[in-house]
Structures are given as C-alpha cells and as structure tokens.
Amino acid sequence: MKFNEVTATHFGPFRGDTLHLAPGFTVVHGPNESGKSTWAAALFAVLAGRRRARGRGTGVEAQFRKRHQPWRGSRWQVGATIALDSGDTLDVTQDLVGGTTAIVPAGAERALGRKELEERFGLTHTDWADIDVGELFGLSRETLRSIIFVPQADILRVLQDAKKLQEFIQRAATTESLDVTAHQVLEKLKDEASTRVGSESIGQRPLRRTLAELEEAKKATYALRAARDELRLTAARVSGLRGDEERARAELERVRVLQVWAEADALEQRLAKVRGYDEQLAGLASIGEPAADDLVERLRAALNGFLNRDALPEEPPGPSADELREQLAELPEMPEGDTAPDPAVRGLWEALNRVTSSLDSREDLDHAAPAEGTLPDASSDELREFATQVRAARPVWDATHDEDESRLRDQYDHDLAQHARDLPAWQERSASHEEAMRRYTVAKERYDAERVTYEQEVAAFRGRQPVDGGPGRRASDQYARSSAGPSLWLLIAGGVLVVIGLLMLLLDPVIGGAGAAVGVAVLVAGLVMRGRRPARVADPSSGTPSAQDPPVAPTPPEVPIFQHPGDKPREPVISDRVDDIVRRRDAWQRAASEFDQRRVELTTLLGDRGLPIDPNELEGLARRIDEREGAKKLADEQREEIARLRVEVGDAAHRLVDVLRAKGPLDVANPRDAREADAAYRRYEEACAERAVVAREAQRREELTRTLEIREQADQAYREAVGRDAARAEAVVAAAREVDADTGDDPDQAAGKLEDWLGAQNRAREARHVRDNVLSLREQQLDGATTAELEEQLTTLTSGLGERPEHLPSEVDELVAGAAKAVEDAATERAGGEGELARLRRSEGDLAQAVEAEAALSREKSSLEELKSILDLVAGDLEVAQQEAHRNISPVLERAIRGRLPLVTQGRYQDVRVKAETLAVELLDPSGTWRDAALLSQGTTEQTYLLLRLALVENLGTDEAMPLILDDVTVQCDAARTVALLDLLHEVSKERQVVLFSQETGVRAWAREKLADPQDRLIELEGPVPGRR
C-alpha cells in the first residue's frame, strides 16, 4: 500500500492544499511552522479517521482535535489517493466532523458499500460509516499510531502500547492461515469472564450483582429476625407500661387529698390574720388626722431655709472702689509707634552690614594684573597636543606571529599528505559496502520471487486437501503424531476444554458453548504452531515426498552486517590564521612608515616656531600660559565683584531708609549712604526703648480696671447675702404665727416651735399609713368575702376528708403537678408502645421466604465462582501458549534489528535482545554487558526503537506492505548517524513507502544528493504557513 497524494481539504491551516508523494522514499523538508507535522497528521487521519462517539473522547483524541481542527470554518475533511499492492487505486475521504469514511475505487462514481467491503476485504463491521481505513489491511487505530506513524518526539510510544500490539505480534508469530491468535482468545476469555462473571468489586456484572443481592438477602433475613425479637420485647414493654400508668394514677389521688387539707389549713390561717387586723384597727382609732399636705410642706420649707442658711460673709478687704478709680485717673496713655525694633527693619539693617563687610574685604585685596613674561605665541592646548605627539611610540611587530605562520603552513602540508593516503582506503571501503548492498538486494529479490511461488503452492495445497479422511489426510495425521513438539500440550489442553464445554452445555448452554469454542480455538492454535516448522518431510516410510505434504517455505536471506564506510575524507584547507597574520604584517609596515614620516614633519614644525622638542618643556610652557590667563581672569572678576557690591550696598541702604521713613519722621540727606542709614537705624532703636518705658506704665490701666470690676462684684455679693439672711428670719417667724405659736420676733424661738409642730404631724401621718396598710391586708385576706363566709367555706372543705394528717408537705401543689405529669407521661408512653407494637405486627415479613431466597443466591454465587475458576484455568493455559508465541517472534524481531543495528550506531552495538510481551530492547555493548536501550543516550534509544518499529512493520503479517511515516526522527542523531539512518530508510523504501518530515539542513542536503524522481522525491516547503483564520 502506498500514498500517491494527500489533500488537506479543510485541515489545520490548510484549505485544498495537496502533497504528491513518491512510491519509494519521500523527504518533506521545511522550517518550523511550515506545516510538516500537520501533513503527517493528515496522513494518519486518512487511515485512522476519527472515532464517532458521544463525549469528549480520550485525551489523545482531544489533543488531536485541538491541534488540527481547521483554523476557519466548520468543515474538517482530509482525503488521499492510495495505491494497493494489487495495482488497484482507492480514493479515501475522511469527514472528521461526522466521523464518516468514503472509499471510492479509481474510476468508480460511488463509494463502496457494506457488502462490497465485506466481499473485497473480508471484513465485518458494526458501523460501516465509522470504519478505520487501516482495518482494511488488518490494523487498528492504535496499531497505526504505535508502529506505522512515528510522530515528532514520539518514537518510544511503542513501549506504551505494547499490550495493544500483542494481537499483531502473535499474528506475526503464526502462519498466515491462522485466523485466531492466542491474544484474541485471551481477550475473548477475559470478555466472557467479564460478561458472564465479572469482578467482585467493580461494575454490575453477574458475580458482583449476585454478591450484592446475597448481601441484601442476608441483611433482609437478619432484619426479619431482628424485627421478630423486637416484637417480643415491645409486647413485654407495653405490659410493664400499663402497670406503671395504674400506679401513677393512684399516687395522683393520694396527693390531691393532701392538696385539699393544705387549702383548709391556708383558709384557717387567713381567718386568724383577719381577727388580728381587727384588733390593730381598734388600737389606732384614738389618733387624730394630720394637717393638709401643702401646709406641712410650705412650713417645712420655711424651717429648712432658716436652719440651712449660710453664715454671713465678711466685708471685702483691700482698697475700696473709690480709691481704685482715683489710681486709674493718674495713669498715662499708651504711646504710638514701635516699643521694640521691628524684625523686618532689623533684618534689613543686618543685611546692610553683611554687604558692607563683604565690600570692605574685597577692597582690601590686591587687584593688580600679573606682569607679562616671555612666552611663545601658542595656546596651552596646542602645546599639550605637541607633547602627546612627541611621546607617541613607534609601532612594534610581534615575532610570535611569524612562528605561528610557519607552524600552520607545515600543518597544512602534513594534512595534504594524509588526505592523499586516506582517500584510496575510503574509496575501497565504499566499493565493498556498495557490493554487499547489491548482493543483499539480489538475494532479497530472489527470496521475494520464491515467496510468491510458495504462496501459490500453499493455495494449491489447501485446495487439494480432502474434506473427509483419506490416504493423504491419514499420512498428514501420522506426520503430526510423529512430530510432537512443544505445542503438543496445547492440543491436550484444547481437547480438555472441548470436553468441559460439552459437559457445561447440560447446565448452561451459553457458558458451555463459549467453553467449547475456546477449546476449539486452542486446538487450532496448537495445530498451527506445529505447522510453523522450517521444513517438513514426507512420510518417513516412503522414499519420495508425498503429494499431500505441504510445500516448504523459502528461507529468507540473512541481513549482512553492513560496515558503513563513513564520511568521505575532506580535502584540507589552509587555516584562516595564515591570511590574518599576513594582513597584520602589512598593516604594521604601513603604520611604521606613516609614523616615521609624521615624526620628521613634527620636528621641523617645532624648530620653525622656536618650540623645544622635549615634551616636559612643552607641558611646562602650557602650564605657565594657563597661570597667566588665570591671573588676568581673576583680577577682572574682582573688579566686577566690587562694583556689584557697591551697587548692592546702596540698594540695601535705600531699602532700610525707606522702611524707617514709614516708621516715622527721618532726617537723612543721602538715602544710599550706608553710614547715614546705619545712624538712622540706631536712632530708631533708641526711640523704641523710650516708648517701651511709657508703654509699661500705660499697661497697668488694664490690670487696675479688672481689679475695680472685681471689687464692685464683691461689694454687690456681700449686700445680697445680708438681704437673704434677713428674709429667711422673717419667713420662719411668719410660719410660726400660722400654727398659733406666739414667739414674738425671735426667729430662733419660732424655729423651735415649728420643729415640735412638724414632729406631731409626722406621727399622725405614720398612724394613718399603718391603718391604711392594715385595712388593705384585711381586704386581701377576705378577698371580697366576709368572716362568716370564710368560716362556712372551711367547714365545707373539711367535711368528708376524714382524719387530718399529722404532717402536710410544704410543696403540695408541686407534688400534685408532678403526679399529674407522671400520669400523663405514663399514658403517653403506654400509647406509644401500643402504637409501636401495632406497627411491628403490621410490618412483620415472611422470615421463611427470606431464608429460602438467601439459600438460592448462595447456590448461584457458588456456580459463578466455579465458572470463574474454569475460565481462569483456561486463560492460564492460553497465557502459556502466548508466551510460546513470544518465544517464536522474539528471534524474528532480533534478526531484523541485529542486521541494521551496527549501521545506525556506527558499529558500537552488535547484538540485541527483545522481550515481545513488553517490547523492551537490550543491546550488547563492546564490554559484553547487556544494556537497557531505554536507559542509553536519547539518540541511541530513539534509533534502536525506530529499528524495532521497522521490524514490527515488516512482520505484521498484513496482506499489504504498509508505509512508514516519520516526523523529525533524526533530531537526536549526530551527522554520521543521520546519514546512516537515511541510507537505511532509503534501502527500506525499496520494499515499502517511506515518508520522512524534517527541518534539518543535513537531511535536505542528503536528499538533494541521493533522491531522484520518480521513485524518490524531495519536497521543500516554504516558510511558516500564513494564518488563514
């Protein structure tokens, strides 16, 4: 099978783009983001399609959808033209949105239907719209991803999918006539065990369902037994509760009698209190009524005001108010003007002093310009530049450069001689390698032709086999019996399974039929494994081969160990260092010549201008010129500073005089004269001092005014206190007269009389208060009845009660309430118990039926466990058969890898071991130690497992030679291994199509040199695919 072309109709960034592939080796090269991985994914999608199922799918499918959905639009479609080994051509279109596939033969107008697919490819399928094209060639989606397609950085995926590949590994280990592998039978057994039995803890299959139902039955039986025990206990409890209720009612009757006696006792106590209150009221009848409340309160207020009056204050001491008024009249008025120098004025005066001081210090300096000396007519910078040029050193040549040049030229001569010796040896090795490859190719073509003949003979042999037994069949059976080998036990196990299945048919037709089918499959596997012998001989009793003997399969040629000749020796070139040394020598000679010429010109120039040739003297002249110019500049700056300071002194004096004039009259002739301004300020300070003395005297006016106000307030308060004391004395005398107390005008005697009268009023009020309280208490005890009515009520209560108890409880009401609560609780609990008893009787189940159901489920559980043990026994025997298949396929894979391993590892590893069950690979290193290939360098690991993928592809046992699609598999290879791997893939492409996607320039260079149309092709993609969103 080969891809002629692939079209990305709507796939990733592509819309309608087509990639034309060669039937042999196609290298697709391009930079990053040029669409290489997208084209590789498109090829995978053509064969694998996209699973049509609900939900988000697996993580791999979700990642594929995210990476390769169209950047724009809702359609997602890819197609390809596939050429079969039979010469037929198919056009495949995958609708990745709906998950449907259309397969159209070349020249046809419609896609193949279900019946046509079944007849043409021998397939049966549940959903022909969701078919994987790989299934037409006997491969699943997972197998395509794990072997045929090698995505970027995913070479080791074959290890992750080792279990999924077991069916195809075993198919490669058996003959082409075997339709069922041990792996498939094991999967069938596991499926039957899962369907018919299942796990004890996972899912809802029969075993777990039976265990769950058995557990529920046990719980139901236990619950029924517990319910019956609970019913018995509840009946006993209800009987006890009824007795408790009767006892509680008897106790309630007893405490109610005590409650009536307690009421009679309380009534007798009320009658005794009423009689005591009547005696108290008779004793209080002789006390008179008190006076009116307002009179009593008014007289008490007058007495309290007199008794609580304050003592008379003393007359205020010190000068009188008239004397203070005379002192105020003698004080001077507050002067106008500043009594202290204004800070702003003083600041201006201090600023004037600072400027004047600066001017005086400047005027004392010497401002004479320096005397002119004898100096050259040149600037200091020019003289320093001359000194720098005089000091410059002549360029120097490093003699070690000459030594390096000589050494490099000698090395170049030596390399030329070595190249002349190495080239003939490489040419000889290359010729030997090409001859070995040619011989192997011839042997392989011969083997392919013999293989075709062998397949034709096998088909003819099968057609000659009689349906019923005959002489030829008996001879074959005799041969089978005489060639017992390691697969004999498989035949025995298959027979045992058939017998067990037939016996199980009597108990369960489904399980028995499955067991018999498994036994038949094991028998077929044993027969086929016995048939995979390198050669068969005719009946030993006959001297010539029988016509009924199967044809002998041809022996495939051994893959020779190709010793790659390595890279062709390159012709040496002289080092770039030699040219660099020559250039540096030329540059030095030019620089030295230019320096000598500049030195002669400089000496002539200095002589003409009368300047010394010594650089130190030149720098000394430059310093003297700088000092002379500096002195001149400093003298000019001093004169300018003095002129500026004089102006500043005049301005400061003028500002000070202006401010002083604002303070008062001022006698100044020249306001810009610093001395006159200073004198005016000093006169201002003296005037401020004089005004300060007058101001201190004037400031006493405020203090004397406050003292006068205080004295006048004290005199007023004294007069008011004397008036209040006299008013209170008059009030108490008037109050005594109101109660007819003749005390004259003496307030103290009147106060004594009022105290006696108020005391008598208090006693009368207390007697009235006691009488009111006694009347209120008497009415409370009577509670609207009369004494006679209470006595009659007492007689009624005690009649019929019998003998009075000796002691009555203190809290009889609480006892009655408690007894009533106990009766209510007992009745409630008794009713609840009776209701629970009725409920239990209504809900009582059939215990006998539950016990019978539990027993039936126990028998079903035992039956399922017995079936599980039988299936496990059969699966164990088949796993042994599977291991035998692994032992058969491992040497095949090892031979395929062993012949190519030295090519891609440069001869470092010579031997290999493969574990077919895990696809783990071990390599034999030069020291004789076996190393796990997955633990070697990343490059060696990927190269080894790429060889394993090649071996698996070649031994899949499919009808078609499947292509190999590789994406950037050389990124971990060095240059030598990259070339070796490309040469190997080129050789493989002679038997099956190989498509390699790469971004390495070395791969592109190899392809340009080795690949040529029409068998091979190099496709160069352009830059990054533009966004087409």
Quote the percentage of the chain above a pLDDT of 70: 79
Question: Could you tell me the pLDDT band of residue 504, with boundaries at 50, 70 and 90?
Answer: low
Least confident interval from 305-319, 363-377, 892-906: 363-377
Helix (H, G, I), strand (E, B) or coil at 16: strand
Residues near 206 by Cβ (< 8 Å), separated by ≥ 6? 196, 197, 198, 864
pLDDT exceeds cutoff 60 at 774: yes
CA pair distance 333, 482, nearest whole angstrom: 158
Least confident interval from 50-64, 306-320, 354-368, 764-778: 50-64
pLDDT exceeds cutoff 50 at 888: yes
Q: In the prediction, which pLDDT does 510 show?
A: 58
Question: SS3 letters for 233-272?
Answer: HHHHHHHHHHHHHHHHHHHHHHHHHHHHHHHHHHHHHHHH
Residue 935, CA distances (Å) to 570, 891, 932, 940, 996 in order = 35, 22, 6, 9, 26
Q: What is the chain's mean pLDDT, rounded?
A: 78
Residue 685, exposed/middle/buried by CB under 10 A (0-12, 13-18, 19+)?
middle
Q: From edge to edge, which strands make up the β-sheet containing 14-20?
A: 14-20, 2-11, 77-83, 89-95, 100-105
User: Per-residue pLDDT tens for 392-445?
Assistant: 888 888 889 888 888 888 888 888 888 888 888 888 887 887 787 788 778 877
Q: From edge to edge, which strands make up the β-sheet containing 1017-1020?
A: 149-150, 964-967, 994-998, 25-29, 1017-1020
Q: In the prediction, which pLDDT does 173 show?
A: 47
pLDDT exceeds cutoff 80 at 875: no
Question: Could you tell me the pLDDT band of residue 969, with boundaries at 50, 70 and 90?
Answer: confident
Strand-pairing partners, residue 123, are none
Residue 890, exposed/middle/buried by CB under 10 A (0-12, 13-18, 19+)?
middle
pLDDT exceeds cutoff 90 at 345: no
Q: In the prediction, which pLDDT does 79 show?
A: 94
Question: Could you tell me the pLDDT band of residue 82, with boundaries at 50, 70 and 90?
Answer: very high
Question: Could you tell me the pLDDT band of residue 536, with boundaries at 50, 70 and 90?
Answer: very low
Q: In the prediction, which pLDDT does 826 show?
A: 87
pLDDT exceeds cutoff 90 at 28: yes
CA pair distance 547, 560, nearest whole angstrom: 36
Strand-pairing partners, residue 11, are 14
Least confident interval from 244-258, 462-476, 743-757, 899-913: 462-476
Instruction: Label residues 278-316 b or e (16+ Cβ within 10 Å = b).
Output: eeeeeeeeeeeebbeeeebeebbebbebbeeeeeeeeee
* Token couple for 599: 């030195």
* Token couple for 146: 């794990």
pLDDT exceeds cutoff 80 at 706: yes
φ/ψ of 740, rounded to 5, equals 65, 35
More confident of the two residues 948 and 521: 948
Q: What does the angle CA 708 – CA 714 – CA 715 come to, to the nearest 5 degrees?
A: 90
User: Per-residue pLDDT tens for 900-938?
Assistant: 888 778 788 888 888 867 778 888 888 888 988 888 888
pLDDT exceeds cutoff 70 at 685: yes
User: Per-residue pLDDT tens for 1-25?
Assistant: 899 999 999 998 989 899 999 999 9
User: Per-residue pLDDT tens for 353-377?
Assistant: 888 888 788 777 655 555 555 777 7
More confident of the two residues 162 and 554: 554
More confident of the two residues 831 and 327: 831
Quote the percentage of the chain above a pLDDT of 90: 7
Q: In the prediction, which pLDDT does 675 show?
A: 84
Residue 72: closest CA among 15, 142, 143? 15
Q: In the prediction, which pLDDT does 1020 show?
A: 92
Helix (H, G, I), strand (E, B) or coil at 755: helix
Q: What is the mean pLDDT of residues 857-883?
A: 70
Q: In the prediction, which pLDDT does 877 show?
A: 59
Question: Could you tell me the pLDDT band of residue 1028, with boundaries at 50, 70 and 90?
Answer: very low
* Token couple for 767: 């007697």
pLDDT exceeds cutoff 50 at 535: no
CA pair distance 41, 1027, nearest whole angstrom: 18
Question: Could you tell me the pLDDT band of residue 39, with boundaries at 50, 70 and 90?
Answer: very high
Residue 359: closest CA among 555, 113, 650, 567? 650
User: Per-residue pLDDT tens for 687-704?
Assistant: 888 888 878 877 777 888
CA pair distance 327, 316, nearest whole angstrom: 19
CA pair distance 28, 30, nearest whole angstrom: 7
Q: In the prediction, which pLDDT does 480 show?
A: 39
Residue 67, CA distances (Å) to 783, 861, 881, 911 in order = 101, 50, 42, 40
More confident of the two residues 370 and 958: 958
Question: Could you tell me the pLDDT band of residue 726, with boundaries at 50, 70 and 90?
Answer: confident
User: Per-residue pLDDT tens for 165-210?
Assistant: 555 454 444 433 333 445 555 566 666 666 667 666 666 677 777 8
The whole model's pTM is what? 0.39
CA pair distance 86, 136, nearest whole angstrom: 14
Residue 736: closest CA among 380, 303, 273? 303
More confident of the two residues 672 and 157: 672
Q: What is the mean pLDDT of residues 756-777?
A: 79
For 488, half-sphere exposure in the C-beta direction (CA atoms, 13 angstrom radius) is: 7
φ/ψ of 926, rounded to 5, equals -60, -25
Helix (H, G, I), strand (E, B) or coil at 399: coil
User: Per-residue pLDDT tens for 444-500?
Assistant: 778 778 878 877 887 787 667 554 444 444 444 443 344 444 455 566 666 667 667
Q: In the prediction, which pLDDT does 169 show?
A: 57
Residue 395, exposed/middle/buried by CB under 10 A (0-12, 13-18, 19+)?
middle
Dihedral sign (CA 797, 798, 804, 807):
positive
Question: Could you tell me the pLDDT band of residue 658, with boundaries at 50, 70 and 90?
Answer: confident
* Token couple for 946: 């790429």
Q: What is the mean pLDDT of residues 333-342?
A: 80
Contact 909, 924 (CB under 8 A): yes
Dihedral sign (CA 69, 72, 74, 78):
negative
Residue 196, CA distances (Å) to 191, 496, 729 in order = 8, 21, 126
Contact 581, 404 (CB under 8 A): yes
Contact 511, 504 (CB under 8 A): yes
pLDDT exceeds cutoff 70 at 140: yes
Residue 951, CA distances (Å) to 219, 395, 749, 900, 992 in order = 59, 71, 145, 10, 12
For 662, half-sphere exposure in the C-beta direction (CA atoms, 13 angstrom radius) is: 8
240: phi > 0 → left, psi -120 to 50 → alpha, else beta; which?
A: alpha
